[in-house]
C-alpha cells in the first residue's frame, strides 16, 4: 500500500504544555511505518467548550506519511496520549495531551471510534490555522477549501508563537513575543 498523508492535531493545557507538545512531536517522529514530514508553528489558544476557567492550550498540527491503517494510527495516537498521562475525566476538560486524527488522505468515514475528517475540524481555529500553515491548498473532504473555512472562525482567540517552521523542530517555543493572528491570511 502506498503511504497516505495524515494530519494530526496536537493539543495540551496541563503539566507544562510546551514539554507535552515537544514530546508528542518526538513520539510522532518514531511512529512505526510512518514518517513525520513537517509540523506547524505552535499556537496559544483559548479553550473552546469544556469547563469554565481551564488554562489556555498550546496547539500544533503535524503531517505524517504512513502505511498504518486509520485504525492502527488512531490506536498509536491514543497510546501516546496515555504514555503522556492522559486521564479521560470530563469531556473537553483540561488534558496533558490530545492527539486527534484530523485527516487520513481523503477518506470519509463516520463511526464512533473514528470519524474522518475529524468531526469538529472545520469549526476550530486552533486546528485550521496551523493546518493552513503547512497545507495552504488543502481541501477538506465534505467541507470545502481550507482557506474558505478559516474565514468562519476568525473570531476565536488564538496567537501564533514566534518560532521557525522547521521540520521536526523539538526545541520549546519562546513564549514571547507572540504575534496576534486573528484574521485569515489573504
**What is the set of active-site residues?**
86, 95, 98, 100
Q: Which of 26, 79, 92, 145 binds ligand ADP (CB under 6 A)?
A: 92
Q: Which of 100, 128, 134, 140 binds ligand ADP (CB under 6 A)?
A: 100
Residues 185, 35: Cα–Cα separation, whole Å:
28
Give the nearer residue to ligand ADP in terms of CB position, either 111 or 137.
Answer: 111
115: partner contacted, choices ligand ADP, Mg ion, none (Cβ within 5-8 A by kind): ligand ADP
Give the nearer residue to Mg ion in terms of CB position, either 92 or 145.
Answer: 92
Q: Which three-class secondary structure string do you get for 32-75?
A: CCEEEEEECCCEEECCCCCCCCCCCEEEEEEEEEECCCHHHHHH
Residues near Mg ion (CB under 5 A): 98, 100
| Beta-carbon count within 10 A of 37 CB | 15
Q: Coil, strand or helix: which one is 12? A: strand
Q: How far is the CB of 160 from ligand ADP (least distance, A)?
A: 21
Residue 111, CA distances (Å) to 54, 71, 118, 119 in order? 29, 11, 11, 11
Establish whether the linkage from the previous residue to 109 is cis, with ω within 30° of 0. Answer: no
By the rule CB under 6 A, 109 interacts with ligand ADP: no
118: partner contacted, choices Mg ion, ligand ADP, none (Cβ within 5-8 A by kind): ligand ADP
* Chain positions contacting ligand ADP, by CB under 6 A: 74, 88, 92, 98, 100-101, 113-116, 118
Amino acid at each position: 500500500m502506498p503511504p497516505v498523508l495524515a494530519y494530526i492535531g496536537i493539543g495540551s493545557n496541563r503539566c507544562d504544555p510546551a514539554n507535552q507538545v515537544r514530546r508528542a512531536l518526538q513520539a510522532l517522529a518514531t511512529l512505526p511505518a510512518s514518517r513525520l514530514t513537517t509540523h506547524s508553528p505552535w499556537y496559544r489558544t483559548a479553550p473552546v467548550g469544556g469547563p469554565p476557567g481551564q488554562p489556555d492550550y498550546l496547539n500544533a498540527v503535524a503531517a505524517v506519511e504512513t502505511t498504518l491503517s486509520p485504525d492502527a494510527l488512531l490506536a498509536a495516537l491514543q497510546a501516546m496520549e496515555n504514555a503522556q498521562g492522559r486521564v479521560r475525566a470530563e469531556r473537553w476538560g483540561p488534558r496533558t495531551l490530545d492527539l486527534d486524527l484530523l485527516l487520513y488522505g481523503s477518506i470519509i468515514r463516520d463511526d464512533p471510534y473514528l470519524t474522518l475528517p475529524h468531526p469538529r475540524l472545520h469549526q476550530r481555529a486552533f486546528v485550521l490555522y496551523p493546518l493552513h500553515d503547512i497545507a495552504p491548498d488543502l481541501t477538506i473532504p465534505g467541507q470545502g477549501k481550507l482557506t474558505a473555512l478559516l474565514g468562519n472562525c476568525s473570531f476565536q482567540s488564538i496567537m501564533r508563537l514566534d518560532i521557525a517552521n522547521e521540520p521536526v523542530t523539538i526545541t520549546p517555543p519562546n513564549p514571547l513575543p507572540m504575534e496576534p493572528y486573528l484574521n485569515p491570511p489573504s
